[in-house]
C-alpha cells in the first residue's frame, strides 16, 4: 500500500455497499472483507472510516471475482436514499440539480478525505470534475463515482439525466455497453480528469417534491458535521501540486525541484524520497499538472495558445506543442478545432 493511501480514509459505509453488491453476484462477502482487511461491523457506525487502500482492494477484488467489468456502474445503480447518511440527504433535498452538485462538492468530505469535486463553468455548461488530489483511483471506484452522480440525479429528478460529455482518467479502447446505457454518451478515456458535463437547462430545472424547510435543517446539520471533521494532513504530493499551481507562469526558477525543495526547507533528495514514498516523482507531478491545466486553458478560447504555453511554464510554444502531442496525439490547435466543430 502506498503511504498516501494509508493516510487517506473513507466512510466505512462505502465498504459495506461494495460487500452488499458483491453478495448479489454470488461472492462470499466475508471472504471478500477478509481479503481486503475490512471489518464489516464498523459500517454500522456512520463516523467509522477505513483506509483508501482497503476500499481499492474491495473494488478491484469484487470486480475480479464477479467477472463484472461494470461492477462500479452496477453498484451505483443499486444506490438508495440514506446510503451515505447526511451527505446523501443534503444532496437529495436540494432545490435544483445545480444546488445538489454544489452540496456534493461542499460536503463530500463527510464520506471521503481525499476526493474533491470541482464545478467548472464552461459557457452554458457545467463540468463536474472529480479527483483524489494526486492519489490514484481504481477504475471501478471512478466509474462508480461518476455513475452515482447520474443515478442519484435521475432519482431526485424523477427521470433519467444525461451528461453531454463524460471523461475518465483510466485507459480503455472503447466504451462498454453499460457505460453507453447509463451515461447516454461514449466516454473519453486517458483524460486529465474524471468528469461529467451538464447543460445549464438541466441544472436549473426545479426538482419535484422539494421541502425547503427540511432542506435547510439537513444542510445545517451537514455544516456542523463538516466543521467537526479533523483537519487533513497534506501529503507531499498535494503540497507540491499546490505550490506548482501558484508558481507556474510566474516564477519558473521556483517552479522546479530545486526551487520547491528550497521553499520547503529540505534537500532535493529528501523531497524526492517523500514523493517516492507516496508513489510519485516530481517530474511526473509537473507533467500531470501541466496536462490538466492545458485542457482547462484551451477550453477558454480567449486565451491564445502561445499564452497557454507561458502559463504552463514553457519558455517556448514549440516545447508546449511537443508535450501536448505526447499527451494527446494531437496539437493544441487541432483540439480547439475539434471542440468548435458542430456535432
Task: Spell out the per-residue pLDDT of the chain, length 343, in tens.
Answer: 343 444 578 999 999 999 999 999 999 999 999 999 999 988 888 788 898 889 999 999 999 999 999 999 999 999 999 999 999 999 999 999 999 999 999 999 999 887 889 898 888 899 999 988 666 788 999 999 999 999 999 999 989 999 999 999 898 889 999 999 999 999 999 888 899 999 999 998 888 877 889 999 999 999 999 888 877 667 788 888 888 888 887 777 778 999 999 988 889 999 998 888 777 889 988 998 898 888 888 877 888 999 999 999 898 899 999 999 898 888 898 888 876 655 4
| 108 shares its domain with 212 | yes
DSSP for 264-323, written as a single string: TTS-HHHHHHHHHHTT--HHHHHHHHHHHHHHHHHT-TTS-HHHHHHHTT-SSHHHHHHH
Cα angle 166-9-60, degrees, rounded to a multiple of 5: 55
> Are 92 and 209 in a shared domain?
yes
Asked if 66 and 56 count as a contact pair (C-beta separation under 8 A), the reply is no
pLDDT number for residue 339: 64
Is 25 strand, coil or helix? coil
Helices (H) and strands (E) in the chain, counts: 18, 6
Same domain? 109 vs 255: no
Would you state the cell numbers that stand for residue 255, as one nine-digit string? 517552479
Considering the domain architecture, whether residues 273 and 193 belong to the same structural domain is answered as no
Q: What is the per-residue pLDDT for 233?
A: 66
Cβ 162 vs Cβ 141: under 8 Å: no
d(CA 149, CA 73): 11
Backbone φ and ψ for 252, nearest 5 degrees, come out as -70, -30
260-282 burial by CB neighbour count: b if 16+ within 10 A, else e? bbeeeeeeeeebbebbeebbbeb
Per the structure, how many domains does the chain have?
A: 2
How many Cα atoms are found within 13 Å in the side-chain-facing hemisphere of 167? Answer: 16
Residues 132 and 262 in one domain: no
Instruction: For residues 93 and 196, state if they share a domain.
Output: yes
The last residue of a domain, from among 201, 228, 255 = 228
Cα–Cα distance, 106 to 102 (Å, whole number): 6
* Domain range enclosing 144: 70-228
Q: Does residue 295 sit in the same domain as residue 269?
A: yes
Grid cell locating 233: 494532513
Do 261 and 182 belong together in one domain?
no
Residue 238 contacts by C-beta under 8 Å, 6 or more apart in sequence? 133, 134
Q: What is the pLDDT of residue 141?
A: 96
**Distance in angstroms (rounded) separating the CA atoms of residues 197 and 303:** 21
Residue with cell 478491484: 60
**Does some domain include residue 329?**
yes
Cα 323 to Cα 340: distance, rounded to the nearest angstrom:
22
Are 210 and 273 in the same domain?
no
d(CA 236, CA 275): 6
Among 182, 202, 228, where does a domain finish? 228
CA angle centred on 185, ends 120 and 73, rounded to 5°: 85
Residue 107, domain member (yes or no) = yes
Amino acid at each position: 500500500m502506498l503511504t498516501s493511501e494509508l493516510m487517506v480514509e473513507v466512510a466505512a459505509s462505502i465498504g459495506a455497499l461494495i460487500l452488499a453488491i458483491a453478495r448479489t453476484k454470488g461472492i462470499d462477502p466475508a471472504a471478500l472483507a477478509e481479503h481486503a482487511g475490512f471489518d464489516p461491523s464498523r459500517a454500522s457506525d456512520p463516523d467509522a472510516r477505513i483506509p483508501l487502500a482497503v476500499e481499492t482492494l474491495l473494488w478491484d477484488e469484487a470486480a475480479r471475482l464477479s467477472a463484472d467489468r461494470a461492477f462500479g456502474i452496477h453498484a451505483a445503480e443499486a444506490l438508495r436514499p440514506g446510503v451515505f447518511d447526511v451527505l446523501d440527504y443534503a444532496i437529495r433535498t436540494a432545490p435544483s440539480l445545480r444546488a445538489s452538485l454544489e452540496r456534493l462538492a461542499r460536503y463530500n468530505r463527510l464520506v471521503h478525505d481525499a476526493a474533491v469535486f470541482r464545478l467548472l463553468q464552461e459557457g452554458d455548461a457545467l463540468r463536474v470534475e472529480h479527483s483524489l488530489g494526486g492519489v490514484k483511483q481504481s477504475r471501478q471506484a471512478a466509474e462508480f463515482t461518476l455513475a452515482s452522480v447520474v443515478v442519484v440525479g435521475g432519482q431526485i429528478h424523477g427521470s433519467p439525466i444525461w451528461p453531454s460529455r463524460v471523461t475518465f482518467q483510466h485507459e480503455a479502447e472503447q466504451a462498454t455497453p453499460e457505460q453507453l446505457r447509463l451515461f447516454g454518451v461514449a466516454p473519453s478515456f486517458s483524460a486529465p480528469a474524471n468528469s461529467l458535463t451538464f447543460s445549464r437547462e438541466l441544472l436549473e430545472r426545479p426538482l419535484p417534491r422539494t421541502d425547503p424547510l427540511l432542506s435547510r435543517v439537513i444542510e445545517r446539520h451537514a455544516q456542523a458535521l463538516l466543521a467537526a471533521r479533523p483537519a487533513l494532513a497534506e501529503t507531499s504530493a498535494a503540497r507540491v501540486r499546490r505550490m506548482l499551481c501558484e508558481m507556474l507562469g510566474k516564477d519558473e526558477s521556483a517552479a522546479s525541484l530545486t526551487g520547491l525543495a528550497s521553499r520547503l526547507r529540505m534537500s532535493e533528495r529528501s523531497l524526492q524520497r517523500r514523493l517516492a514514498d507516496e508513489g510519485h516523482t516530481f517530474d511526473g507531478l509537473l507533467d500531470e499538472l501541466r496536462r490538466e491545466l492545458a485542457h482547462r486553458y484551451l477550453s477558454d478560447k480567449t486565451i491564445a495558445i502561445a499564452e497557454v504555453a507561458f502559463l504552463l511554464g514553457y519558455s517556448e510554444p514549440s516545447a508546449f506543442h511537443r508535450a501536448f502531442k505526447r499527451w494527446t496525439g494531437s496539437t493544441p490547435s487541432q483540439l480547439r478545432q475539434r471542440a468548435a466543430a458542430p456535432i
